[in-house]
Structure 1
């Protein structure tokens, strides 16, 4: 479901009539004064440019680069928002990284090392004196200076005390992302709707996160207390850093309020008055940071879940084929440990969440008995049952699931295979495209901190992904399973359950959201209530019967009530006295309980580590399905009071130092390491990277430009066309094609494959694809051929159940992921492997880990060919308008626009569309020349 924050109020200025109306109601003099007098944040609080402080030790030799679209400045005054909505003008530094980022798609083919910073920023420490745009002593402090450079406006924060350094980080974050930070602290608390003016379209977003982390204020505070108390001196230091950071944020709020240059969204949502300045911007507190962290953790760092859906699809398979054969069919689609899956770690075995020989305690629901636990209640206290509400909640849940399937990529090559002898890395997270971006760039230099890179807004007391003095690090979402579903047997009524033999009351946590209109034409005043029942085994998500017994299914994740713990790992990564090599890097990331793949490069070494608190499960428990609640099936050493348990040791996590090369695009980490997402089989978008990097390494002499080109080429490739389409065409061409329509389509598709199977413009800015007809045909053909190939054999019920576990397609033009359409990141999930394995089996080729049976055309070559030809003819006959039906941003039939990336507005500023490319949002290119 698209993220629209906030919608109603911003629509008021997007609609021309309402824009005029708004101007009539506002003080034109105030608006003009806002444009001409020093009410911008720069003029109000910053001094004239001056020499930057000397850069800290930098061992990158000018060979570190980064990029983060659309731009560093994510705050805009009311006047700037109105000008943007009316005329498209942009605040300074709001979109100046968008053009270079977009241009790589057409400029990468001729890339050389000396042209890298045409498409990236120079990520060297410090700012040359002739590039200083401004300097600031925030709140008049003498122990910290914020210098911003002319090209990007990135803050370079230098402190002489630890407190001053973190104060500056907080102040700079608020300068760049105050509105966004405020939005997401309310999302984390499930309170976005009243904050953003009451628009029901915002309810889905707050619901999806609050369902997974229904915390009370006491829960949030307990996380802070625990992290500070259980981590020794580092815990105390983290608490002090967070307090200083909050002080900096609040100092900016006070300054912007008195100077009247606070973000204009506060006026548009009724929190401030544009004329009188009445109203309040609520100060931040420590628990807000935990609420923010819970959102980020849920989106990107909490792999697992889905056990109830798994159970439903298993039952459907068993109903279709019988228990034994149905289970075999289900397992073949699950691909828990597919031998053909591309791996990040090439050697060794790291067993985790593997299939037990004799499963114990599995609690499969009785067929047809599963119902989803209501989350939303109306003002009368009744569960909301309207179709609109259910659809919103379901869409939100699906969006969260899609996000957790994975984003981000990494390419890291050992110095043994580079031209310079130094390792090279091109890596970064794909966090979606937003305006402003969820991440922000910064450099922090102070006692015990020396780093530059990206951090999530509101959590930027440390650099979370970036570079230190002589090393760099990044992450991709890993998705291993740290979430389990328990079946708690009900007793007495629907809100009591058996806990270790005792009938125990569930804990009800409620959240009431109320709002009122600000103008006569706004949505009528109203409210709704969210309610979650919590057990010692986590929140209730579903109800069912198991063997006739009434149960509640609960979801327990190892990071539940522990989102704040990871702060220690990030603190270590920023500390130059701690990280001096790959082993230190691995030890630091071991303190991060989010499920991430971490990558490292310095001038000598590369390294990898998979983080997350992986619970040690009881013997015989199958992590794929719900299990009975009870001591015999709980995590080993689990303490329900603190939600802590025994975790697998670091050596059991996939890890490596100085492998020839590493790639990651949320693919399988290592042999025998079972990840939660479905689809880690023979065809995965990780193959797009692995194929290219493996060839570079084999040739030797790899350069930064070559590795960027490998990333960019993979980022423009259509995974289906590169890795599956050639096999489909072999089946079609196994006999002479006599139908003229099909023959023409085959010719176009083959030409596209020969040209590289990429979705690229004919020329920069043309907004027209080369091989456009072939692309249109494949976009139309894929869903048709999958359905026609598999549904007859599986049956409609099982086919639909398998679709719930793994949707068949995620093309660039599809509405998918956490931001809906125009989301950029594509081919995360789909039936690529299923089609690949089935077609190869039909062709008589050897298939490792194949499906339990052949499906296409009944498993015969002639039957499969008939299926492919008939569906290809149907696809070829579809018009562009049918394949690309259009939306609020694009006309029907506009292929380029349907694929295009849009920076999803999270406030009042909009940016232009850019051509599709499948790459990280924040990205680094690094090659250190020396080491301390």
Structure 2
């Protein structure tokens, strides 16, 4: 049975409705406009590589992310794709069923070799965009191997290669970063929703973008100067490709389809890039993956609901138990006995500015909407998924690292990578960079590839997971004079009014009517306004201020150091490089001798008594220590206070708690977490000893196809149910199905590769239907509807693979990061009479009585078992029919351009992933 290809969700859906004759005519025209790719039969020079063929990586769907008009039309009419568009998707997908048989010798059946250079018999093409750089692409994957004789040439080549592979995507994202996507790519509802969501978080003016460039020049020292020189050479390379492709008529076809270039006359422009475009791109990536905190207003609302339900003292205890700030049962990446206190609950909170009941109103963003802009509820697609920036949406990457003391070879082994979502083309791109002061291979975000951001050097490798620690605070600024003035350090000052007006016309690829609208944000010294409310009767505006706001570009220094073989040579130097990255990431390192971990980010030093979980008054007494509102700089916790470790027996991370004492920015770091799927498997391997690369790959892949609820909560559910005989036939059948599935490992895998049918399908359907029902039945009666719903806004109840309602959205791969698994686990263990550390303030299931709890579980289970598959999996407009369980779970490479790729079976793993084991060191 062939894999199903999802319908495009970009502005290009209308193409599918073109008549074949028209498409064929356009295809014939476009085919005459494509320039040949230069080819030469020699290999890129290989730099000394200490991995000895034991390093591998994978990044689906494929390296090539550019398609000419001819390519796009051929994809729509004939289903063909340009070379290297989808060739990494098959090996990546096959691991879901093939992992049990993986050996060290067969790892490259599922990953690409990430050795430096290209063997002479594997050279596909050589491009020399200028005399001091050569771009060699390999036959297997088309990855650019960039070799420069000068540093400037190396960076020029990196920019040229990036434009070859991702020009259209880079152009989209620089417009997203400026809040101008609809004007650039059409006014579809998804486009407008995306630019609105992002621009609210980072409403930068051109002066704001330029100020980040100036900051690097003035404050970055010699490395800052070098970074700007590298970035300028990179931009020059991008612009060189724009000029060449426009003149040669082989530029991305999306420019034609969105009306920027005329297919017949070649009239029109592709605007050149500039340094501020890179800042706009960096701000998008920072907002997606490198921030943490916020949400203090919602926390205040759920606290108020708890206090209304139980009274102030008891309600606060109940709320704190669900908050799980520093849960003693939580799995921590650092488990060597050290702790790193940060953002905990103060003993005597100061400056809290909790809203009056019923007074909170979100700040409006959109004004003066006309034409197509009034159709905000239509299903017209955009060029980027509308939930790309949905919050929270950062918990996806993972890492497994084992020290040499526990491996078969005596050298560390690592399997790690970021989960950046599944797109066509991918947000990341692979490259190798070799030049003066630069030697690395790996992945970089499109448009930010001056350096490899996640990958390997000559004798070391590194990766990251999103940490999302609390670097964002909500302030209540007291209004004065009117709604657009506020008290700032004793003076009544005006807010800054920021506006962005977008207008658009219908394009060839988008049927949305012409229209326009204006976005408006009021900005204060404490950040943009998000809500209005009253506090103690006083009118306030709630603002959000994050430490990386207006400083997204600063992290370039750390990435520069990670690529520099003279800088990174051991665990300590790696940690020093990570300290120069102000995004909130967990960084992992392995070479032939050492492993290491470091949590990066500019963690502000808060005023004494400030509780980071709630809004505080915008007053001098509660400002961050050393805060300069003009520059948005402050005093940050020193590196020694960041979670870190060297040569721990093993490290795992799946966006879980970093270390004891390090308070999570949000709810959900408790006794059951997705990271437990890795923790249990890697800990068992380490206890056995002799860990190999393939064993670690198997551990990761096994966790990637396991239902967290089924592995870590279902056994307790079945034990409660099994406390008495089950006599109802329907209930007994469901229990038998769930028991068999649990004993088989609670996997969500196909019966065989390509079958598109799950083993234990009935049990999986029952669990998917049961979980939200059992959680509501377990907790809602005790909490009451108001508090139950308020806590559900803090932490969604469920995020199964097929849950389109979850934070990540449907067909996104990532699952089980957010949910009430820990709450259910702690509550059920209390009912069963087991010890619980950090227990909930009350026992909820059946009022704490085993028999009553059992009745709740059985009644909700019976209800769930009766729900048909067509209701559990209702189908969608992306090609899934109602009741198709496999399709509901499946991963879709969401189109960001004109070419679509196949959907694949679900697996919960990083998008870009490395497998490394260095046998030698410099």
User: If the length of structure 1 is used for normalisation, what is the TM-score?
Assistant: 0.96
* Aligned residue in 1 for 2:912: 922
CA distance in 2, matches of 1:121, 1:531: 47
What is the CA deviation profile of residues 736-761 of structure 1, one whole-angstrom value per residue up to 9, with x for unaligned ones? 00001111111111111111111011
**Of 751, 758, 761, which residue of structure 2 is paired with 1:762?**
751
Matched length:
913
**Of 335, 347, 359, which residue of structure 2 is paired with 1:369?**
359
Shift of 1:380: 8.0
* Aligned residue in 1 for 2:112: 121
**Does the 8 Å contact 2:8/2:894 carry over to 1?**
no
CA distance in 1, matches of 2:901, 2:568: 39
CA distance in 2, matches of 1:390, 1:649: 48
**Does the 8 Å contact 1:71/1:152 carry over to 2?**
yes
What is the CA deviation profile of residues 769-792 of structure 1, one whole-angstrom value per residue up to 9, with x for unaligned ones? 111110010000000000111111
Secondary structure in 2 matching 1:871: helix
CA distance in 1, matches of 2:823, 2:223: 48
CA distance in 1, matches of 2:363, 2:378: 13
Secondary structure in 2 matching 1:683: coil
**Of 81, 91, 99, which residue of structure 1 is paired with 2:72?**
81
CA distance in 2, matches of 1:143, 1:818: 46
1:779 aligns with 2:768: yes
Secondary structure in 2 matching 1:623: coil
Name the CA shift for 1:502/1:5 in 2 (closer, same or farther; >3 Å): farther
1:907 aligns with 2:909: no
CA distance in 1, matches of 2:376, 2:117: 55
Name the CA shift for 1:818/1:68 in 2 (closer, same or farther; >3 Å): farther
* Aligned residue in 1 for 2:16: 14
**Does the 8 Å contact 1:635/1:646 carry over to 2?**
yes
Shift of 1:879: 1.1
What is the CA deviation profile of residues 306-362 of structure 1, one whole-angstrom value per residue up to 9, with x for unaligned ones? 000000000000000000000000000000000000000012110000000000000
1:631 aligns with 2:620: yes
Moved more, 455-464 or 878-887: 878-887
1:134 aligns with 2:125: yes
Shift of 1:198: 2.0
Shift of 1:378: 1.7
CA distance in 1, matches of 2:90, 2:849: 50
CA distance in 1, matches of 2:406, 2:121: 37
**Does the 8 Å contact 1:12/1:22 carry over to 2?**
no
Correspondences of 1:313-712 after superposition (within 5 Å): 313-346=302-335, 347-379=337-369, 388=377, 400-518=389-507, 522-712=511-701
Name the CA shift for 1:764/1:521 in 2 (closer, same or farther; >3 Å): closer
What is the CA deviation profile of residues 135-168 of structure 1, one whole-angstrom value per residue up to 9, with x for unaligned ones? 1101xx1110000000000000000001100000
* Aligned residue in 1 for 2:881: 891
Name the CA shift for 1:618/1:555 in 2 (closer, same or farther; >3 Å): same
CA distance in 2, matches of 1:673, 1:733: 38
1:98 aligns with 2:97: no
Name the CA shift for 1:519/1:706 in 2 (closer, same or farther; >3 Å): closer
Unaligned runs of 5+ in 1: none
CA distance in 2, matches of 1:699, 1:28: 60
**Does the 8 Å contact 2:798/2:806 carry over to 1?**
no
* Aligned residue in 1 for 2:3: none
Shift of 1:200: 2.4
Shift of 1:8: 7.2
Name the CA shift for 1:867/1:392 in 2 (closer, same or farther; >3 Å): farther
CA distance in 2, matches of 1:487, 1:14: 50
CA distance in 2, matches of 1:679, 1:385: 38
* Aligned residue in 2 for 1:66: 57
CA distance in 2, matches of 1:804, 1:589: 33
User: If the length of structure 2 is used for normalisation, what is the TM-score?
Assistant: 0.97
Shift of 1:375: 0.8
Name the CA shift for 1:568/1:19 in 2 (closer, same or farther; >3 Å): farther
CA distance in 1, matches of 2:301, 2:682: 40
CA distance in 2, matches of 1:198, 1:686: 40
**Of 143, 149, 159, which residue of structure 1 is paired with 2:138?**
149
CA distance in 1, matches of 2:745, 2:59: 28
Moved more, 438-447 or 852-861: 852-861
Correspondences of 1:41-56 after superposition (within 5 Å): 43-44=36-37, 46=38, 48-56=39-47
Shift of 1:398: 7.6
Correspondences of 1:227-266 after superposition (within 5 Å): 227-266=216-255
CA distance in 1, matches of 2:127, 2:380: 49
CA distance in 1, matches of 2:471, 2:883: 43
**Does the 8 Å contact 2:333/2:653 carry over to 1?**
yes
CA distance in 2, matches of 1:608, 1:520: 47
* Aligned residue in 1 for 2:157: 168
**Does the 8 Å contact 2:387/2:809 carry over to 1?**
no
Moved more, 518-527 or 158-167: 518-527
**Does the 8 Å contact 2:257/2:508 carry over to 1?**
no
CA distance in 1, matches of 2:409, 2:295: 46
Shift of 1:104: 0.5
CA distance in 2, matches of 1:520, 1:89: 19
CA distance in 1, matches of 2:698, 2:818: 24
CA distance in 1, matches of 2:508, 2:915: 50
Secondary structure in 1 matching 2:46: coil
Name the CA shift for 1:336/1:183 in 2 (closer, same or farther; >3 Å): same
Shift of 1:28: 5.5
